[in-house]
Each structure stands twice: as structure tokens, then as C-alpha cells.
Amino acid sequence: MNRCLMLTGSLALAWGVFVAKPAAADDAAEISARPVQWTADFNAGRKDASCDLFSKDLISDFRGQGEADFTKRCELISKAIDDKDRTFRYELNIKEILPGRDLAVVRLEWTLHVSPGDVTAVEPGMDIFRKEPDGAWRIIRYMAYEK
């Protein structure tokens, strides 16, 4: 009986290691594509596409700005894109993706360039993505700060 349980447990472990890993790799690729696309959308001034990175359940916390929900975050994005006096441009550095079944944690660093004035801000952060009913991975929580 113990051998049967051990064999069953070993088979379950092997199934998890060899079958589940490709799905996680696929998810990691899908997840990393989302902020990469966001960078392109934001830098091109596509407001609606930029807001699509975020879940309607978003709670974000950027040091010094306090918490913001989906509506507030999209208002801030729109305000930056519509600013006639300054240009905002982001660069992305994904440091780590930890995918799970329906949630994933992404450790990343944004670099924001603002002109005129040649201001550069480095913004490390951590995003929690959720696979939503439509199949898209969106940020449901994030925390970030400026170095």
C-alpha cells in the first residue's frame, strides 16, 4: 500500500514538473508582453490601450501619490499623454516574473524621461497580474516608488 502511495505521489510530482512548466513558460511570455505593449502604447499616446493593462479592480500605490483605483490611474495616464508642455517617455526593465495559475508577480523597473528639462526618474516596483475572464493578464495591484 505504501509503495502504491509513493508511486502515485511520484507520478503526480512528475506530472506537475513536466506538464505544468510549459504552461507557466507560456504565461510568463504572455505576462511580459503586456507591459512591453503598454510601453509602446503609452509612448505612442494611445490612452485607451494604455489603460487596458490594468484591471477594473486595480489598486495602485506609488510612493508620494497614495492609492489610486482604475479610474484615477487612467486619469493620470491621460493627463500625462495630453500634456502639451511636457513629453513623458517610459523604458521598461522586467527583472523577474513569478507566474502562478491565475496570479503572477512581476518585479520590474520603469525609467521615465520627461522633457523639456531632461529629467529622468527610475521607478522600481512590483506588479500583481491576474488572468481575467477574457484571458488577458492585467495588473490588479502594484506598488512603486522613485529611486
- pLDDT surpassing 90 at residue 17: no
pLDDT band at 13 (very low <50, low <70, confident <90, very high): very low
Per residue in 35-79, pLDDT tens? 999 999 999 999 999 999 999 999 999 988 889 999 999 999 999
Give the number of domains in the chain.
1
Q: What is the DSSP track for the chain? A: -HHHHHHHHHHHHHHHHHHHHHHHHHHHHHHHHHHHHHHHHHHTT-HHHHHTTEEEEEEEEETTTEEEEHHHHHHHHHHHHH-SS-EEEEEEEEEEEEE-SSEEEEEEEEEEEEETTTEEEEEEEEEEEEE-TTS-EEEEEEEE---
Per residue in 124-136, pLDDT tens? 999 999 999 999 9
Q: What is the pLDDT of residue 34?
A: 97
Domain that residue 103 falls in? 2-144
Q: What is the pLDDT of residue 16?
A: 44
Q: What is the CATH number of the domain that holds 53?
A: 3.10.450.50
Per residue in 114-126, pLDDT tens? 999 999 999 999 9
